[in-house]
Amino acid sequence: MITLEFIINILSLGSLYAMLALGLVIVYGILRLVNFAYGELIMVGGYTMYLVTLYTPLPWLAVAIVAVLAVMLTSLFTELVAFRPVREKSLTAMLITSFAVSTLLQNGALLIISPRARAVTLPQIFQTSVMIAGTSVPWRNILTILTCILTLALLTLLLRRTVLGIALRAAADNFKMTRMLGVPANTVISTAFAISGIMAGIVSIFWIGRSASVTPTIGMPPLLVAFVATVIGGMNSLTGAVVGGFVYAITISLLGVILPPGMVEFREAFMFAFVIIVLLFRPEGLIRSKTSVERVG
Amino acid sequence: MKLAARLKPFNTPLTLVAAVLAIALLTQLLDISLLTRIVTVMFVSLMLVLGLQLYMGNSGILNFAHIGFMGIGAYTAVIFSMTPEAKLLTNSDLYPFLVPLHLPFLPSLLIGGLVAAALASIVSYPLMRLSDAAAVITSFALLVIIHVVLLHWDRVSNGPRTLFGVDNYTTLWVSVAFAVITIFAVYLFKESSIGLRLRASRDDRYAAASIGINMVVMRWLAFMTSAFIAGVGGGLWAHFITSFKPYAFYLSETFVVLAMLVIGGPYSVSGAVVGTLVVTAAREVLRGIENQVNILQLFPEGFFGFTEVVLSIVLILILVYRPTGIMGGRELHWPRRRQARSAETNQPENNIS
């Protein structure tokens, strides 16, 4: 049952989910904002790829880079116009704002482009496979794993070796204190949203790469995955997000194998029940962080 | 004079009910079938928004699961109100023990509400300890779970397919009656000792706990009541629309109800009423524009999503410039009187920065 193919599948899914979760957690860590508009960033990435390949003769790699940049800019823009003005008000206001931004982006795509799916052209490498130890492995999966390793390495470098990264980690730990020590709040938050956008942009390439098409509602499934993965891993920890992503990939794959045929469609319900249980009994997730004051009783 | 004095505490709900009745009468007199449909749906929405206000306004916690309980109420009520023949016609896979169940309209609605409330009471008790982001994620998780179950439990809900053949019992005046009852119920809840204790714990959980308020139990009672109202509202909606599928009880409906409450003002009953009226009117105008543009075929791919785009922009603007909504935590009175903005009705301080 557990073949090399199964393991590589899980590794590539886990890599994708880990990057997804990281993008959500980096904003949550600082603002305590669960960004409902995060899934729509992936949709923006998909439509950018579609539009750029349609109107320009750019090579695919350039298209992908443009897509990541466009997602990053969208993320920064939502922060600037929607989240920054309500940030000082209340957490509830910020959460409703993110829900509104999500609806806005989704229906904006519906309005400007089309309710119908749009095909995204992908390079040949996304469709071909390579033989490893007797099993055929899609290049897409290998690329996902390699990209994840590279992204995580770069992010670790950024967070550990640069002043901005250290400020970001300090802000996630204690935002008030960090601000008192002279770190400008807006810079830190913008950086977090930029990183979140880059993550969503990278994920969008591989997410869209699986279906080769984009619709206005494509952001919903990745958002749900990111929610579950971050809660399981621990909402306050970046390492936790990565762990959560892999745990999600393993659990959902195993559920697909273990559950009787009639129950497989309820997989998502099981995952979310798992989320509720984690929040109740281990609200800090698998990876503990310093503080967690969400529980009252 | 004596009567007036007695009615004084009920000034707000009576004012709101008067507004509802005036709209209903006007609709009845105009007798335009499109308008009657819009107003009937509006009163059903009003019931849902009031139910959401009951929990969110008093506890200060965002609840995404509300529409999920509406769905549970709708499917339950329909199973009881439809005739066995009609049920088998729309869903031949229905569990055999559900087929012979057949009750009149009102008991069916009541059972729908009770089932929603019972499920809410079981599921939510442990969740009531959570606040802030954790509470929001769990309520969102609850919505997703309810949606997935409705979507795939073919033998109860007809799966992702449309369930049709529901009798149309929800007339204008039925919806008015339920809206009126709900206004009184939600207002009385707010003024009750439970509502007061819940708001006390919302504003300062430690101070409230120190005087012996059990916040978890208070939240739980509110959540259950709110789910009951959502369940009955769902049943009403189902018997108006007569055919529906699980996607009706998911994120787009959640967005509409949330927008109504937040735009009107989540911290008062009047806010829920005002928000429902304003947003319904705005949506109908916007949808009219959308339809006109589609008829004229100005866009080759069609003109969809305009209503939601405008609504979400308005919602963001309200949150930026007037986060307590149109009503700002105050209640309506007739005749208008100057009311000092009390600290109690305003939003709890919950600053992040």
Reported confidence tier of residue A9, pLDDT bands at 50, 70, 90: confident
**Averaged pLDDT, A111-116:** 86
Reported confidence tier of residue B353, pLDDT bands at 50, 70, 90: very low
* Alpha carbon separation from A36 to A55, A203, A226, B2, B307 (Å, rounded): 30, 16, 10, 53, 20
Q: What is the mean pLDDT of chain B?
A: 89
Give pLDDT tens digits for B163-186.
888 989 999 999 999 999 999 999
Reported confidence tier of residue B336, pLDDT bands at 50, 70, 90: low
Contact B58, B267 (CB under 8 A): no
Query: What is the pTM assigned to this prediction?
Result: 0.90
Q: What is the pLDDT of residue B346?
A: 47
- Whether chain A has a CB inside 8 Å of the CB on B319: the answer is yes
Reported confidence tier of residue A288, pLDDT bands at 50, 70, 90: low
Rounded Cα distance between B196 and A58, Å, is: 63
Q: Is the pLDDT of residue A261 over 50?
A: yes
Q: Is the pLDDT of residue A252 over 80?
A: yes
Reported confidence tier of residue A292, pLDDT bands at 50, 70, 90: very low
Reported confidence tier of residue A71, pLDDT bands at 50, 70, 90: very high
Q: Is the pLDDT of residue A244 over 50?
A: yes
Q: Is the pLDDT of residue A291 over 80?
A: no
Reported confidence tier of residue B273, pLDDT bands at 50, 70, 90: very high
**Averaged pLDDT, A186-209:** 93
Tell me the shortest Cα–Cα distance from B105 to chain A, in angstroms: 31
Rounded Cα distance between B297 and B49, Å, is: 35
Q: What is the pLDDT of residue B350?
A: 45
Q: Does the beta-carbon distance from B352 to A115 stay under 8 Å?
A: no
Q: What is the pLDDT of residue A277?
A: 84
Report the number of secondary-structure helices (H) and strands (E) in chain B. Answer: 15, 0
Tell me which residues of chain A, numbers 183 to 242, contact chain B at a CB-CB cutoff of 8 Å: 185, 216, 220, 224, 227, 231, 235
- Whether chain B has a CB inside 8 Å of the CB on A180: the answer is no
Rounded Cα distance between A168 and A29, Å, is: 9
Tell me the shortest Cα–Cα distance from A3 to chain B, in angstroms: 30
Q: Per-residue b/e over B195-226, b at no fewer than 16 CB within 10 Å? A: bebbbbbbbebeebeeeebebbebbbbbbbbb
Give pLDDT tens digits for B61-80.
999 999 999 999 999 999 99
Pick the residue with more confidence: B328 or B232? B232
Share of chain A above pLDDT 90, in %: 38
Tell me the shortest Cα–Cα distance from A207 to chain B, in angstroms: 21
Give pLDDT tens digits for B251-260.
999 999 999 9
| Burial class of residue B263, CB neighbours in 10 A (0-12, 13-18, 19+) | buried
- Whether chain A has a CB inside 8 Å of the CB on B124: the answer is no
Q: What is the ipTM of this complex?
A: 0.88
Q: What is the pLDDT of residue B66?
A: 95
Alpha helix (H) ranges present in chain A?
A: 4-31, 38-55, 60-78, 84-87, 91-112, 139-161, 163-173, 175-180, 185-211, 220-233, 238-258, 267-281
Contact B151, B160 (CB under 8 A): yes
**Averaged pLDDT, A75-99:** 91
Q: What is the pLDDT of residue B177?
A: 96
Q: Is the pLDDT of residue A109 over 50?
A: yes
